[in-house]
Structure 1
């Protein structure tokens, strides 16, 4: 069944409840992709990245996440016109979820957005089960993060398929059911804005390259 945990932005204005959280019901991975790094830098929240530029992400079914406070502070950004929808609390620039679309039902939530942070997530969801896209990591890629991890991929696909079949897409915390459009305002970054973020990201951030 799993337990209920609280999602809370840094200043406490945005809060949500996430139900049914357990190692069996969620995926937890560390993602080193340059898009996740760019998003953190766009928000001015590089503090959320680990030493190698990784984001500790917990993937949950959309219907298990329900905002209970501060919905008027939620906004979204896409790094490109077809990129992920990356949602955040505009009051303090805390990420509160990444999504593709209702057709692919999952929400990826950074561990620090949970009340109590990563240690609290450990208690209910267990530690990360792997890492992906380590070729973009800052410095030496963590072990096991650079190749294709078939078990992680199959687990992620399996979770999404099960959530879809069991109707866990709706109610969706970020999309209207009809029409299937975002509930909250979206900003799409320009090419110039994206290009300005890339030097901050791995595998060789400009700050390191000039040392």
Structure 2
């Protein structure tokens, strides 16, 4: 989406895991758009007006998880250092070569998911409506569009 300078070494996308119920979009809700690389792929949410990535969510509103794009935050110090590296086999030259911290990340994900279901916030999200449908119909890229996206 034209933000190559904001990627990590090796082409990694810096994400911060948050519960969707904790995300507040204060302006531009009408600009939320979604694309998917395949019919069952992640929902990749972005601002239609400026192509700024917002978050990734899994294919259903039932999983209370959003990976928010770290450069959105003015202050990233509270997040601490990067704790998890995943999918490193797909990294570009110069990037990390070993996954790190996946067990810890999955444990935290399970803990937050359980807490969200217990406190009733699991289905609250700025990206899905009360019925679990995406607030913006996802554009599902075909094979040609996917190939073109990777070239850009």
The answer to whether the superposition gives a TM-score over 0.5 is yes
What is the aligned partner in structure 1 of residue 9 from structure 2?
51
Q: Let me know the Cα RMSD of the aligned residues.
A: 2.0
Q: Relative contact order (alpha carbons < 8 A, sep ≥ 6): 1 or 2 greater?
A: 2
Matches within 5 A, 1:1-40: none
Matches within 5 A, 1:36-185: 43-100=1-58, 101-114=60-73, 116=74, 120-122=75-77, 124-142=78-96, 145-146=98-99, 149-178=102-131, 180-185=132-137
C-alpha distance in 2, partners of 1:46/1:132? 19
TM score, norm. by length of structure 2: 0.87
How many residue pairs match? The answer is 151
What is the aligned partner in structure 2 of residue 192 from structure 1?
144
C-alpha distance in 1, partners of 2:125/2:101? 30
Deviation string, structure 1 residues 106-162 (Cα, Å, up to 9, x no partner):
111011012x2xxx121x22222121111111114426x336732222222322232
Larger radius of gyration: 1
Larger strand percent = 1
Deviation string, structure 1 residues 14-52 (Cα, Å, up to 9, x no partner):
xxxxxxxxxxxxxxxxxxxxxxxxxxxxx2222221231
**Aligned 8 A contact 1:135 1:141 in 2:** no
**Aligned 8 A contact 2:61 2:133 in 1:** no
